[in-house]
Structure 1
Amino acid sequence: MKQSVRLGHVAGIPVGAHWSTVMIVVLIGGVLATTVLPQAVAGQPPARYWMVAAGASVLFLGSLLAHELAHAIVALRRGVPVKSITLWLLGGVTEFAGETKSPKDEFQVSVVGPLVSLALSGVFYLAVVLLNGPALIVAAVRWLALMNGVLAVFNMLPGSPLDGGRVLHAALWRMHGDRVRADRSAAKAGQVLGMSLIAVGGMELILLGWTGGLWMMLIGWFLASAARSEGLVRAAHEGLKGWRVRDVMTTSPDVAPAWQDIDDFITVVALHSHQTVFPVVDFGGHSAGTLSLEALTAIPPEQRQDRRIATVARPLPPDHLLSPDDDAARILEPSAGTGELMAVVAEAGHVVGMVTTADLTRALQQAVLRTTSSRQNAGQPGDTEQDHPGQPLHDPGA
């Protein structure tokens, strides 16, 4: 997740926090200090409420981290690489670098998070029973028990991208033996769930005047949007099955030499190219970043003559640099792609192509046409010009 701060590693897994994590700490702390704790234990100094609320907020973030770590550790044991864990406004996100190989693995990776939250709820409730301490501390621990229980139940609702949606996906996958069908069903369930939460939140807000309805509407909107996006990505993965990056990329794109003056590049290349983004290359033809027309237009005209392309090029993360023979599905990896440019393609260290959103859209549309065509063998990825004389492998105008 972008705009995150790396916090360190837990069990060898990078852990970060999105800037919105501050918002959840402030929101939780504020609700606890001004409402929950004063109602549970009246007559305490405000500073004491805030101190206990801050501690409870941090412990709740720790609970979210434990939930995500459970997913990550089980995934690693099932052979699924884990890129990172990120805490953010609506909880946590575990980013995987692969997929589970069976419904059983999918079920185990998915269900363990809610089970850990449920176990933490039990631990906190046990602490409430056994703890013989200040009433304010007991009230905070009771709240932690309740929230972890709510977290476990909510996450098991049957719709992607929630854990319950993954469990539903695993069950449908096992039942029908068709992962793609399970993908579609789980994504649709997530959209229905999200829209339902929006409707319920709206009724709470309008009919009952509960401002908490706004929070439910926000969660519902996120779930519906995430489910739709996940469904599209899954469909794209299926559409690109069997394709290589060379089947999708724009070959021999116009490039921006890192040593060239910006004004010269605009005059010689940018004004005559159909591209809106350019791979930046060094003297050896190796990737040295990217440059967009948008970035060029932001440079004042008087500064374009004495500045080189290298000074305004945007760095290219290592996983945005692909090989022509890489699986095309790598283009869809969450960390790949920035704006219109999805990836730069290099062979033997030299830039030979790029993949833009237009390239990807074209490839997916061709995939749909291929699967619905009466000539199922026509236009398969990897066909050569000798197989289909007169038909270029790539659209020269892309």
Structure 2
Amino acid sequence: MYYSYRYSRERQDIIVAVLGLTLAFFIVIVRSSRVFSAAVAALALGESLLITLTAFLLHEMSHRYFARSYGGIAYFRLWPLGLVLALVTSVIGIIFAAPGAVNIGGIYRRDQVGKVALAGPGANIAMSVVFLMAYLLAGHAGIVSPILQELSELNAWFALFNMIPVPPLDGQKVLSWDIRAFGATLAIALILFLILIV
């Protein structure tokens, strides 16, 4: 049973973060396109939204779900500066993808802290595998295949980056809890990422 504490602006913060980060990814994808058309824009928008929902939002909501399942206080809060940085950096072809995060309180046991931290990269790994399987099933033809590959690659990258054992990233909390869980998760994320970029 989790605390009933609610951050009154959480839903609004989530919507703003998702829309802003989707726009940032859209800018990067469109900039990398050789041609621009309504069809390209529609595909770029769809891909950008899927990246944001799976690589970012699902990651954060996984932290939130597991924290609350342990009786903790957990809510998403927008970081306006992070959102501005995401939009500004997207113009030069990279993204500082940190428009907000789940704030967590009331959890003190090391194993619970570690499992809550692991939930985010774990969700990214799961989505990377799902998109990789879809990519393999779709074959190498058509416009969908490269999008599936990019979705898988970016989810693997989000998992890999977040497993760096440096505060405030998830890897530090996972390593403090269980070195085996840390090593296994890091290895899986790295293998997935290398498979997708080679």
Normalising by the residue count of structure 1, what TM-score does the alignment of the two structures yield?
0.35
Task: Call closer, same or farther: CA 1:85–1:118 in 2, change over 3 Å.
Answer: farther
Q: 1:150 aligns with which of 144, 147, 157?
A: 157
Work out whether 1:53 is the aligned partner of 2:44: yes
- Structure 2: gaps (5+ residues): 1-8, 87-96, 180-198
Give the whole-Å Cα distance in 2 for the aligned partners of 1:20 and 1:109: 22
Deviation track 1:105-155 (CA, whole Å, cap 9, x = no partner) reads 111111111011011011011111112697222211211110000000000
Match of 2:24 in 1: 27
Q: Is the 8 A contact 2:132 2:148 kept in 1?
A: yes
Q: Tell me, yes or no, if structure 1 residue 76 matches structure 2 residue 42.
A: no
**2:84 matches 1:111:** no
Of 58, 61, 77, the residue aligned with 1:66 is 58
What is the CA–CA distance in structure 1 between the aligned matches of 2:19 and 2:172, rounded to whole Å? 24
Distance in 2 (alpha carbons) for counterparts of 1:20 and 1:121: 19
Residues 85 and 95 in structure 1, CA contact (< 8 A), matched pair in contact too: yes
Question: Partners of 1:70 and 1:20 in 2: how far apart?
Answer: 16
**Alignment CA distance shift 1:142-1:112 (3 Å):** same
Identity %: 23
Q: Distance in 2 between matches of 1:132 and 1:168?
A: 37
Match of 1:95 in 2: 103
Q: Secondary structure at the match of 1:16?
A: helix
Give SS of 1:135's match. Answer: coil
RMSD, aligned α-carbons: 2.9
In our comparison, the structure showing a higher alpha carbon Rg is: 1
Q: Does 1:16 align with 2:23?
A: no
The question of whether the paired residues in 2 share the 8 Å contact of 1:124 and 1:145 is answered with: yes
SS at match of 1:122: helix
2:111 matches 1:120? no
Q: Distance in 2 between matches of 1:159 and 1:105?
A: 18
Q: Does the Cα contact within 8 Å between 1:53 and 1:140 map onto a contact in 2?
A: no
Q: What residue number does 1:129 align with?
A: 136
User: Aligned equivalents of 1:140 and 1:152: distance in 2?
Assistant: 18
Q: What SS is found at the alignment partner of 2:143?
A: helix
Query: Structure 1: any 5+ residue segments left out of the alignment?
Result: 9-14, 39-43, 173-398
More helix by share: 2
Q: Aligned runs of 1:1-398 on 2, under 5 Å?
A: 7=11, 16-18=14-16, 22=20, 24-35=21-32, 38=34, 46-63=37-54, 64-86=56-78, 88=83, 89=86, 90-91=97-98, 92-96=100-104, 98-131=105-138, 135-170=142-177
> Alpha-carbon deviations, 1:355-397, whole Å to 9, x = none?
xxxxxxxxxxxxxxxxxxxxxxxxxxxxxxxxxxxxxxxxxxx
Check conservation: 1:103, 1:171, Cα contact below 8 A.
no
